[in-house]
Structure 1
């Protein structure tokens, strides 16, 4: 079932669990994710970045957005689980408009790099466009350090809970990503993760809407080690501990973004297969192990976020 992201997240918020949002760039990731979600009887959110849309459309945002909508809808119609399609970190209004026109379930307007008043103004306008087409909207307050596709910041700027309340009331945004100390990418922390749980709790109390955790990949150690066994160089890769993510869910997080974990798992499977099968040249075969590892990550994520069985 292809549904509005708001429908999935409001149910999660009401029942104190979170739904993972998995980034894709190609068909292999989509198939692996949906297989895992179907087996776990769980709702799932598929995400694409602006870069993924550009890649799929060979530079044409609308063509790329339509490709993802048509593909995800095609699969969703055959599965008895709620499936949504979300634009992650929309910064370019052309890409946001393309996603809305193509029929995405939701879009993110990320104007978090702007001052509060400008972020509010831009977000309010995007909410107006999106809601007119029945598309829900995510926004971000504060900034996450790290690099992910077209998103880059040198340091974290944590969200102000009082500003979050004003922002939600004035923009009409459907869900909010508050910066509480996570980071984008595989190399998140030099030391231990330090998330501001009290700040998160306050934001939830004041906004009362579904909240989103960005930069939330856990970077599974076993797949890092396996990828490196077969030649990858991922030294220093470190993610958010699962226990910290579980605590965030208890305090009001309902959407947990995951990209890096899938990439590392796929890389491990691809490298393993190619090095163990030197004569293999059929991509349907050498992608298979990577897809199996992606599915494994998806199923584990659905379980510890308590989304399994919530379809």
Structure 2
């Protein structure tokens, strides 16, 4: 079923697990995510960033495709714009049929962040679309931003921010960063801060920069209150390595068969991650009577 993020993340909050939010840029990745969700009886969120919307995943094509696939299955599927900064990108996503949007105004000061998120929330909520915001700043791993505690989310500000904006979930900064971390470095997360945020807020909490954070950190983050985890770099790297390995093992493989092999490999990664964060088995249905993904 095609839905916003709101209800699935509230379910995750109430049942103490997290939903995987996967950046996708083509049909194979969309199919891998949705089929994995069906097979794991899990919800899943499909993320597309503005950069990806321009380079690969055109929203006027991706949104109808995702919506059609989602309507064929019995688990919740959401399509979310990831790190929407410009109002133009967000309104385009809404017009094209996204079920959720993220407005990232975290690089602005507190009051401007509130103003921008409030404006998006007013527009999106009127159309039944959920809104994610970010407070603190989840920067870039290569720049060492995850080590800068000045970027971390302030608990008192977070309470005021959620109350004044009406956002449906909040991305918090506790030590992760986007992209690939330097070799052999796993980030140290501020779990005490996360526990304080969980205690202070009722909205579901989001972890960006999940790629490369390590299974132990991810599991502990979920146990401490994270309900949505964004995964982009890890899946992209896994897909690239799988592609190269398949071509090396079978240089004469046909293009369609290559895509099928890549899709199956991505499903293995996605399903394993769903089990790690506890979303597997959260939705029960009769696969024989429910509609099949086509």
Same-fold call, TM > 0.5? yes
Q: Tell me, which stretches of 5 or more residues in structure 2 are unaligned?
A: 284-294
Partner residue of 2:287? Answer: none
**Cα deviation 1:191-220 (Å, max 9, x = unaligned):** 442100111111121121100000002xxx
Note the alpha carbon deviations across 1:108-165, whole angstroms, 9 max, x for none: 00011111111111111111111111111001111123169xxx88564111010000
SS in 2 for 1:287: helix
Asked whether the 8 Å contact 1:56–1:67 carries over to 2, the reply is: no
Match of 1:294 in 2: 266
Correspondences of 1:28-43 after superposition (within 5 Å)? 28-43=28-43
Distance across 1 between alignment mates of 2:117 and 2:274: 30
Residues 192 and 75 (structure 1), Cα distance of their counterparts in 2 relative to 1, 3 Å cut: closer
The offset of 1:89, in angstroms, is 0.5
How far apart, CA to CA, are the structure 2 residues paired with 1:277 and 1:168? 52
Distance 1:179 1:77, change over 3 A: same
Q: Which residue of 1 aligns with 2:71?
A: 77
Alpha-carbon distance in structure 1 between the residues aligned to 2:120 and 2:264: 38
Match for residue 83 of structure 2 among 73, 85, 89: 89
Q: Could you say which residue in structure 2 is the equivalent of 1:256?
A: 229
Deviation at 1:187, TM superposition (A): 2.1
Question: Do structure 1's residue 112 and structure 2's residue 130 form an aligned pair?
Answer: no
How far does the alpha carbon of each residue in 1:63-107 deviate from its partner, in whole angstroms, 9 at most, with x for none?
x32322211111112111111111110012111001112221110
- SS of residue paired to 1:25: coil
Query: 2:168 matched to 1:196?
Result: no
Distance 1:153 1:121, change over 3 A: farther
For structure 1, which runs of at least 5 residues remain unmatched after alignment?
58-63, 218-238
Which residue number in structure 2 is paired with residue 270 of structure 1?
243
Distance change >3 Å, CA 130–CA 188, structure 1 → 2: farther
Counterparts of 1:211 and 1:262, CA distance in 2 = 22
Q: Please, which of 152, 163, 169 is the counterpart of residue 158 of structure 1? A: 152
Moved more, 189-198 or 129-138: 189-198
- 1:304 is aligned to 276
| Residue of structure 2 equivalent to 1:232 | none
Q: Please say if residues 23 and 258 of structure 1, whose CA atoms lie closer than 8 Å, have aligned partners that are also in contact.
A: yes
CA gap 1:304/1:271 in 2 versus in 1, 3 angstroms:
same
CA RMSD in angstroms comes to 1.8
1:209 pairs with 2:182? no
The whole-number CA distance in structure 2 between the counterparts of 1:126 and 1:80 is: 29
Q: How far is 1:290 from its partner?
A: 2.2
Cα shift at 1:24 = 0.2
Shift of 1:55: 2.8
Task: Give the distance between the partners of 2:59 and 2:27, measured in 1 at CA.
Answer: 14
CA apart distance, 1:260: 1.2
Q: TM-score if structure 2 supplies the norm length?
A: 0.90
Count of residue pairs brought into register by the alignment: 280
Distance 1:105 1:38 in 2: 19
Deviation at 1:29, TM superposition (A): 0.8
TM-score (norm 1): 0.85
- Secondary structure of the residue aligned to 2:188 is coil
After superposition, the Cα gap between the structure-2 partners of 1:123 and 1:190, relative to the gap in structure 1 and judged at 3 Å, is farther
Distance in 2 of aligned mates of 1:204 and 1:103:
31
Partner of 2:52: 52
CA–CA distance in structure 2, aligned partners of residues 168 and 189 of structure 1: 36
Contact 1:19 1:45 in 2 (8 A): yes
